[in-house]
Every structure is written in C-alpha cells, then in structure tokens.
C-alpha cells in the first residue's frame, strides 16, 4: 500500500528546519509535493514550471476582500525533483517547493494549487516543514487537479486539522462554504457533467433499460415512486434515450470512462489494473467454457459432478478450431495478454473452491447445509421460530392463505423427545424462511422466464451439541385463479435413507439453495450494502466539509463504492445483464430488490438490532458485549458482535473528542443538513418513515456512524469475500433452477432412479451460465494489492493526537479479535465453526493477503 508508506518515508527525508534566507530576503519554508504526472511526454522541468502553490492564511484575512478570505502568500512553483525517493508508487514523483515567509500569512490553513498545463495530474500530498510555531503541516489531497481553465474557482486543499463549522478560523470559513457549493454542483443542476467536474448529486436508477433496442429491453425507473422505491445513485447526466425521455442512455463498457462519476471516486491505479485483469480472465473463462461445451456430448450441459470438478482439477483447454481463432481475433490485445498472464499455459483453470478442497462431497451433507446458515456467506437470514406453524405476513386479501402447511406430526419425531411447544419455549426451533419474499413474484418468474423456482421454508432443530439439523423443507408455488394468487400449493420433503427419497431431499435442499443464493446476491449483498451506502457517500461529500470530523471518520469507508456500483449498473443490473442471465428472478432482479427495499430500515442494519429482530439474541448485561445468543455457537454473530463493539468503541472515542455535549450536535449546521439530506434525498422514498432517529444526541451520532461503518466494512466483507470459497462450486450455491421437482409417474422421476446426477444438472444451471456465474464471483471475491483494511488509515489523515491514539487502540483490538477468531476455529467443541467441509469461518478476520482468501475486512464496499 504505497499511499500508507509514503508520508512516513518523506517525514525522514524532508528538511525539518526553517530556512533563514529566502528569495525575498526574509525567511523561507520548504515542503514536499507528491504527485502523479499522467503525461510522460512532459519533462520534469517543463512539468514543474507549470504548477504553483499559494499558502492561505488561517489567521489573517485579506482586508481587500469583501468575503474576508484568508490572506494569500506568493506563488511558489515546484522546484527540483527528489532523486531516488522511497515509499512512492511507480508512477508517482516527489518535488521540492519553497515558500517565502510572509508575516501576513503567518500560519497556513489551506493551499491553493493551480495547474497551467493542458492535462491533469494527481496530487497526493503536500507537506510543509518548519512552519513558525507549528513545525510540520500536512495536506492530504488525494485529488485530480485539472487545468485551471476547467474550474470557475481555484482548487483549494485544507490542512489535516479538524474543525466543526463554528470552530473554523474566520479566514477559512468562506473557502469551506465555497468548496461545499462546488461539490453540490450549485449552478450546474441541469448541466452535462464532465470528468473535471467534482459534482456529487442524486439520480434515480433510470439507466438499466435500453428501450431503443426494443420493448424487451425496457426496464422501470427505480426510485421516486411508491411502486418502485429505491436508494438514489450518483448523477451521471447522460442524455435521454430516443424512445423514452425519462430513461438515461447507456454507454458501452469499453467506454466506461465516459460514464461520469467524480474523478476522485474512480479506482486507484493498482486496484484498476487488478480489476481489469481479473475482468478479462473471467470473460475468457466464459468464452472457453462455451467453446468446450460445443464439443461435449451434451452441449451446454454438465453430465456428472466430475464434469464440474474437471474445471478445477484439469482446467479447460482451448480447442483448435476456426471458431476459437475468430474469438482470438475479436478480443482486444490487452485481453489476449491477460489470457496467459499467470504462467503462459494454454489451460484456463479455475482455482479450487475451499468448500471442496478437503472433501469433495461434504457439501451434500445435511450438517454442512445447515452450518452455512450460521457460518456461510448469507448468515443474516436464519431466525428463531416463535410460533407454529410458520405464519405468513403477506396480505391475505391479495395473496390468500400463505401460512405454512407443515404439521406437528411431520416434525415431532425428530425433536429429541420434545413437543413442538416445548421446542419453541426452549428456543430450539429455527427457520430459514424464503417464502414471503419470493411468493409475490413466482407467477411472473415461473411463467415469463426460463426459471422454475419455489418459495421455500426450512425448519431446523437445535441439538444438544450446538449444531442444527434440518427437519423439513416446504416448497410452495402460488395457487392462482386467473392472474390472482389465492393461496399456496405446497410439498414437504424430509431427510431420508431411502435412495429415491434421499435424491428428492438433495433436490429440495438445492431449491432452498437457489432461493437463498439469489437472496444473498441481490438483497444481502447488492441492496443492503452497495445500493444503500451510495446515498451516504453522496450526502457526505455534499454537506460535510473535509474539515468536518464526521467526514474524516467516514471517508475511508466510501472508497471505490461509486465506481463499483457504476460497473454493476453497466454489466450486472442492466437489461440482459449478468444478474438477469444467472440469477433466478431473471428480468425481475431489480424489481425484486425494489420490493424488498420497502422493508429496509436503517436502524435495523445495526448488528445487535438485527440479531434481536430475528430472535437470535436478547439484551443481557451479563453476557459478552451485552447480548446473549440463543445459539451460542453462531460464528457470524459471535465474531460480528466483537467487531461491532470494537467499531462502536472507536466511534465513541472519536466523536466524543469533538462533541462535548448533545447541544453541539443539535447546533452543527453541516451535520444537520447531512442527516436531513440522507433522509429526504438519498433515501427519499423512505423520508416519511418514523424509524429515522433525530440527530440531536451524541448517542444517535455514534450509533449512526457505527452502523454505516459496519455495513460498509464488516457486513459487506461477510457477504462478498466468501463467495468463491463457498459458491465457486456451483452445486453448493446454485442461483437458478430450470425445472420443477420430478413428480411420481413421470419420465423425470424414473430418470431420478437411474441417473440422479443427470436430473440434478438438468434442474440447475447449464454449463454456460455456470461458467458465467463462477467467473463473476471469482472476480469479486478477491482483494486487490492496495486494499485498505478496517483499522488502517493513510498517515497524516488528522493532526489531532487523541483520535490518532484511539485509532491505534482500535487497530490493536482488531488484531486481538482476529486471534480469538482463529482460536475459536481450533476449538473442536464449536462444531459450527469448521464443519464437515473443513472450511473454517474466517470471513470476519480483519486482515488478509492479496487475492481470494476468504477473509479480510476492507474499510469500504469494494471488490
């Protein structure tokens, strides 16, 4: 992580003394500028003569200025390049700069940077040495600076000091206000935005369809209506389509740089190169798989489980054929280079997913099936059953009776001698419930798309050893009268030793996995982390100055999220995109997420409140972190409560340093505008919900910031970075089912007796769609080389010692938590932590290496 090393490196090299003889006969002050010159054709001498910096006083206002802005120092152009610097990225350079001391400037609180080149450069940091009475002053810039003529006002960068609005030095107050006006795009509300604009604004999801290509490519506008509510995205200001003026036109992915997002939000160079390389590899995997399928005896289908294993054990060879040569010719050169970037071999081999590394068949066991509900990639759905039979919350007038058909008689024989009532009272019955979320869409999905799916309920019993066992699976389809759903038609399946019944039970678990996998990808992952966080990013940049403590606290947790979401709209959420191709709702994928966004409650995203809502925990001051779990060995909750508590403690220490009373929060205009805008604009379709707390107390601020950080870091880490370890082996986490359960006296049922593998693969994903799905999750499950993890910050982010000390304590706490997680994984009494697949739960281990590791908590929602 170059950016984390460079400042300390230059602290040692830069001159730490005040120069007595300046160019004006007075004293001078030296500094170091670290930047990236994107135009290598420019010599350093020409380059540095076109960039200058001016100090802005934090103590003296310019008497000639009506707005009382800080006094400006003289222009200081970049001087010699520092030779052989250490701690820089390969494309970065460091330059000296010398400022004449000016008594009227005295202490600089900001810098103006002007770029007189014709091209932009990336400004990392500026560090001043020997400021009178202050020593070193650091400016953490991390911004692209475009030619001066692109801006209406000069680019200003504040020092790393932190001020609440009323504490801002008077000479800097107007600069602070103007900077926020620029970021809000005031005066540019209707303008086309360009790459040099720094505007953060809101838009609906009106860019997923392409009606100009035909009606089948039209999609609704999500956001701004009661029918299709949605979080807001960043405004990109593309022109409307010809067919529908309310739909924003799309751009080909190859021209993705033309899709506007603020330039400073775009990927850093290391992450971008990793992302592009992995994208290419994933695409080529799919292409090769398609070619190979053509040569197989059953085109586009797997025939056996060994066919699936072959993707990992032997790889897929590029066959020699004119078709393959045509593919080669049509791929851009950089794509071809990436094909052999690992070892130059002719084989494209998927890495072995962790779920089958130690045992190729453990995923099929009931023990692993239920363990992943507590320690898999979607451990956020299971809940304690508090009434029997399970009751639907769907409107009976609209959907008829949707209550469960499961009877006491069907499960009591497996309750270890307990009655259903006793099992409920002793907190031993649990449910994975994907009935109400799926049922309203089943008629559309099963009749208008190739998918054939069920609404599912899976009942579970907590055994004496702390593990769960499945009791029964209920598969339901809508009972209809014309277009009206009037009830449910349900089938029950139970574990069995009988061969046919066991094959049916495996298929029943597969239908459950299909609904759970889709819910995981579209709701737990996309909606509840990526989509809901973007409005917070926009509001923070629009309403909280970089000088504001809450901006400084949250800023690292927003890194790379906007470009990732932009790519998702380009290739995954769009009409005929990856999600529509590989996840069972097909063309209704976003409509499904919109329907479930209606139930989204910000305050319930806090882990403790989520656990209490699902009946998995209760408040208990005697228990660790203040909550008692009903399933003591619930790895996600056990590890998660430790991480949550650490984040909460860090946020409390940080916020308490700046806010000494509740009145300071209530009277902070930037903070109040921020919270108001999140409610009324960013999540505008939820603005009238009563659950929004008033931002009037320190406790509310701490809870709010802790929740934002939890969602952006730890929650996203759980639902994202385990996708390939658990789901890279498609039979374990399929996302589409193409046929209904075989019924007695049908050819499919007879085939189940002689060829159960064939029936399985005819039911779930085809080979082509499997390769597409696996390629995508391989892409998004890995960590980049410049990832920044929870507890890490770029040096120099603040000048305040107490927050720095609090961050150091937070980082040490995370190391201790990680050690305890690893210790628990080695405790054989905790059977849910590893399971029959011998896959330990490490998704909440804070640290990680590069690539697919199944661990690591990055600061932000990124890939």
Cβ-contact 33, 123 below 8 angstroms: yes
> Which residues touch 466 (CB under 8 Å, ≥6 apart)?
631, 632, 633, 830, 831, 832
190 is catalytic: no
The SS3 call for residue 777 is helix
Tokens of 600: 């989204």
Is residue 342 flagged as an active site residue? no
Cβ burial of 73 (10 Å; 0-12, 13-18, 19+) is: buried
Nearest-angstrom CA–CA distance, 732 and 750: 24
Question: Rounded to whole angstroms, how far apart are CA atoms 776 and 762?
Answer: 22
Q: What is the 3-state secondary structure (H, E, C) of 430-465?
A: EEEEECCCCHHHHHHHHHHCCCCCCEEEEEEEECCC
Q: Is 406 a catalytic residue?
A: no
* Exposed/middle/buried for residue 447 (C-beta within 10 Å: 0-12, 13-18, 19+): exposed
Q: Which of 562, 365, 612 is nearest to 468 (CA)?
A: 365
| Burial classification of residue 145, based on how many CB atoms lie within 10 Å of its CB (0-12 exposed, 13-18 middle, 19 or more buried) | buried
The separation between CA 562 and the C-alpha centre of its own chain, rounded to angstroms, equals: 10
- Core vs surface per residue 15-52: b (16+ CB within 10 A) or e: eeebbeebeeeebbbbbbbbbbbeeeebeeeebbebbb
CB 781 within 8 A of CB 721: yes
Q: Could you tell me whether strands 484-493 and 468-481 are parallel, antiparallel, or unpaired per DSSP bridges?
A: antiparallel
Catalytic pick among 117, 138, 435, 525: 525
Measured between alpha carbons, how far is 732 from 512 in angstroms, rounded to an integer? 11
Instruction: Give me the catalytic one of 716, 777, 832, 859.
Output: 716
Which position among 533, 774, 857, 863 bears the catalytic label?
Answer: 863
Rg of the chain on CA atoms, in Å: 29
Strands 455-462 and 429-434: antiparallel
- Give Cβ neighbours of residue 453 (< 8 Å, ≥ 6 apart): 438, 442, 445, 446, 511, 514, 515, 584, 737
Rounded-to-integer distance, Cα 660 and Cα 145, Å: 37
Structure tokens that stand for 169 in this block: 């030095």
Catalytic residue among 60, 434, 530, 548: 530
Report the C-alpha gap between 746 and 750 in whole angstroms. 6
Neighbours of 682 (CB within 10 A): 24
Helix (H) or strand (E) holding 647: helix 635-658
Q: What DSSP character marks residue 842? A: -
Q: Dihedral (C-alpha) 731, 735, 737, 738: value to the nearest 10 degrees?
A: -110
Question: Which residue in this structure is represented by tokens 């010809």?
Answer: 242
Look up 537 and say whether it is catalytic.
no
Only one residue has tokens 């610097």, namely: 85
Q: Which of 551, 720, 832, 859 is catalytic?
A: 720
Which residues have CB under 8 Å from 719's CB, separation 6+? 377, 378, 380, 520, 524, 525, 528, 529
Confirm whether 683 is a catalytic residue.
Answer: no
Active site residues per annotation: 525, 530, 716, 720, 863
């Amino acid at each position: 992580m170059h950016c984390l090393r460079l400042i300390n490196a230059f602290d040692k090299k830069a001159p730490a003394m005040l120069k007595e003889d300046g160019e004006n006969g007075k004293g001078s002050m030296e500094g170091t500028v670290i930047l990236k010159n994107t135009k290598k054709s420019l010599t350093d001498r020409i380059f540095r003569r076109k960039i200058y910096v001016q100090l802005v006083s934090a103590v003296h206002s310019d008497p000639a200025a009506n707005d009382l802005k800080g006094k400006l120092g003289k222009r200081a152009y970049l001087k010699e390049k520092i030779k052989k610097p250490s701690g820089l990225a390969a494309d970065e350079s460091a330059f000296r700069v010398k400022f004449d001391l000016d008594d009227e400037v005295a202490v600089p609180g900001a810098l103006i940077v002007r770029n007189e080149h014709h091209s932009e450069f990336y400004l990392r940091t500026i560090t001043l040495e020997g400021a009178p009475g202050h020593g070193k002053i650091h400016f953490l810039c991390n911004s692209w600076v475009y030619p001066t003529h692109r801006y209406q006002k000069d680019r200003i960068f504040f020092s790393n000091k932190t001020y609440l609005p009323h504490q801002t030095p008077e000479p800097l107050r107007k600069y602070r206000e103007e900077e926020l006006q620029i970021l809000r795009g005031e005066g540019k509300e209707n303008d086309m935005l360009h790459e040099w604009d720094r505007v953060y604004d809101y838009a609906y999801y009106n860019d997923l369809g392409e009606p100009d290509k035909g009606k089948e490519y039209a999609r609704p506008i999500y956001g701004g209506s009661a029918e299709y509510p949605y979080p807001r995205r960043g405004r990109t200001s593309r022109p409307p389509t010809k067919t529908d003026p309310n739909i924003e036109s799309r751009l080909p992915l190859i021209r993705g740089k033309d899709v506007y997002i603020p330039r400073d939000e775009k990927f850093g160079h290391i992450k971008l190169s990793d992302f592009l390389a992995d994208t290419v590899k994933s695409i080529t995997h799919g292409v090769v798989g398609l070619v190979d399928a053509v040569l197989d005896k059953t085109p586009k289908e797997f025939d056996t489980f060994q066919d699936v294993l072959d993707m990992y054990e032997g790889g897929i060879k590029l066959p020699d054929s004119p078709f393959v040569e045509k593919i080669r010719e049509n791929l851009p050169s950089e794509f071809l280079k990436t094909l052999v970037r690992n070892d130059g071999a002719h084989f494209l081999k998927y890495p072995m997913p962790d779920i089958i590394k130690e045992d190729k068949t453990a995923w099929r066991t009931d023990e692993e099936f239920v363990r992943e509900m507590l320690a898999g990639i979607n451990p956020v759905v299971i809940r304690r059953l508090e009434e029997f039979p399970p009751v639907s919350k769907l409107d009976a007038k609209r959907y008829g009776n949707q209550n469960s058909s499961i009877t006491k008689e069907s499960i009591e024989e497996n309750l270890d001698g307990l009655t259903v009532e006793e099992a409920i009272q002793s907190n031993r019955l649990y449910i994975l419930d994907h009935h109400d979320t799926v049922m309203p869409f089943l008629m559309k999905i099963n009749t208008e798309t190739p998918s054939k799916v069920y609404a599912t309920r899976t009942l579970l019993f907590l055994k004496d050893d702390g593990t769960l066992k499945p009791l029964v699976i209920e598969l339901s389809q809508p009972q209809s009268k014309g277009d009206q759903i009037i009830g449910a038609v349900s089938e029950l399946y139970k574990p069995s030793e009988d061969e046919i019944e066991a094959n049916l039970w495996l298929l029943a678990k597969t239908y459950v996995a299909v609904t759970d996998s889709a819910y995981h990808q579209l709701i737990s992952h996309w909606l509840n982390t990526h989509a809901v966080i973007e409005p917070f990013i926009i509001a923070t940049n629009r309403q909280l100055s970089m000088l504001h403590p809450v901006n400084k606290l949250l800023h690292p947790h927003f890194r790379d999220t906007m470009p990732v979401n932009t790519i998702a709209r380009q290739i995954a959420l769009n009409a005929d995109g990856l999600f529509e191709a590989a996840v069972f709702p097909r063309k209704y994928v976003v409509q499904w997420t919109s329907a479930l966004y209606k139930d989204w409650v910000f305050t319930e995203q806090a882990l403790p409140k989520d656990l209490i809502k699902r009946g998995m925990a209760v408040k208990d001051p005697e228990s660790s972190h203040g909550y008692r779990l009903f399933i003591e060995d619930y790895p996600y909750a056990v590890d998660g409560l430790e991480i949550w508590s650490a984040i909460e403690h860090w946020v409390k220490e940080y916020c308490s340093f700046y806010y000494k009373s509740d009145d300071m929060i209530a009277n902070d205009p930037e903070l109040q505008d921020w919270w108001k805008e999140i409610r009324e604009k960013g999540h505008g379709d939820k603005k009238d919900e009563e659950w929004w707390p008033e931002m009037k107390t320190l406790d509310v601020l701490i809870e709010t910031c802790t929740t934002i950080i939890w969602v952006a870091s730890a929650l996203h880490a759980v639902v994202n970075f385990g996708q390939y370890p658990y789901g890279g082996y498609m039979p374990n986490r399929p996302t589409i089912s193409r046929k209904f359960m075989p019924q007695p006296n049908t050819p499919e049922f007879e085939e189940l007796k002689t060829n159960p593998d064939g029936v399985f693969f005819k039911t779930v994903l085809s080979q082509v769609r499997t390769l597409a799905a696996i390629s995508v999750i391989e892409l998004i499950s890995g960590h980049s080389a410049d990832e920044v993890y929870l507890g890490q910050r770029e040096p120099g982010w603040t000048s305040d010692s107490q927050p720095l000390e609090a961050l150091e304590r937070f980082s040490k706490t995370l190391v201790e938590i990680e050690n305890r997680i690893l210790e628990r994984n080695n405790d054989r009494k905790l059977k849910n932590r590893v399971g029959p697949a011998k896959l330990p739960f490490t998704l909440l281990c804070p640290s990680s290496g590069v690539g697919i590791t199944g661990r690591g908590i990055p600061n932000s929602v990124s890939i």
